[in-house]
Amino acid sequence: MRARTFTAAVLLVGVTLMAGCGKSSGTSPASAAPDLAGKTFLDETKAALVQVNADDNNFDPQYVTVKVGTTVTFKNRGRNSHNVVPVTSGSFKAIETDAFKPGTSVERSFTKAGLYSFYCSLHGTATKGMNGTIKVVG
């Protein structure tokens, strides 16, 4: 009986700790908005086609500004598979790992002004590691 009480207590503590890990807003750490203060964006507003490369462990350029209607090609130049996950769910269609193996390219068009932050969930989070932002201007 004593072993059952101890096991139940350990489980209760574990569940309580896990419940306290989330933010009160209900967002997970992966969906937290990145801090863009002081970041330098590459100006590609004159280009109709822009490429963001997924190298191993970083996007290049990491921060880029484009005009509304620009098509951005995400190209995997690395040795590893990657993905491109929007920080804000539904802001653009994610690029799944199966479709983004080394040597592949996937295009996305940005038709509305705004900030489109993204990350590779295999090698980073929204705020650390392999992440980036596309700033779309009118």
**What pTM does this model have?**
0.76
Who wins on pLDDT, 74 or 13?
Answer: 74
What mean pLDDT is predicted for residues 105-126?
A: 96
- Please state, in angstroms and rounded to a whole number, the distance separating the CA atoms of residues 10 and 128: 32
Please report the domains of the chain, with CATH numbers, ordered by start residue.
28-137 (2.60.40.420)
Contact present, 82 and 130 (Cβ < 8 Å) = yes
Which of 26-30, 34-38, 103-107, 121-125 shows the lowest per-residue confidence on average (mean pLDDT)?
Answer: 26-30
Q: DSSP strand E in the chain: where?
A: 42-43, 49-55, 58-60, 63-67, 70-76, 85-86, 105-110, 114-124, 129-137
Quote the CA–CA distance of 45 and 132 in Å, as a whole number.
17
pLDDT band at 49; cut points 50, 70, 90: confident
Look at residue 98 and give its three-state secondary structure: helix
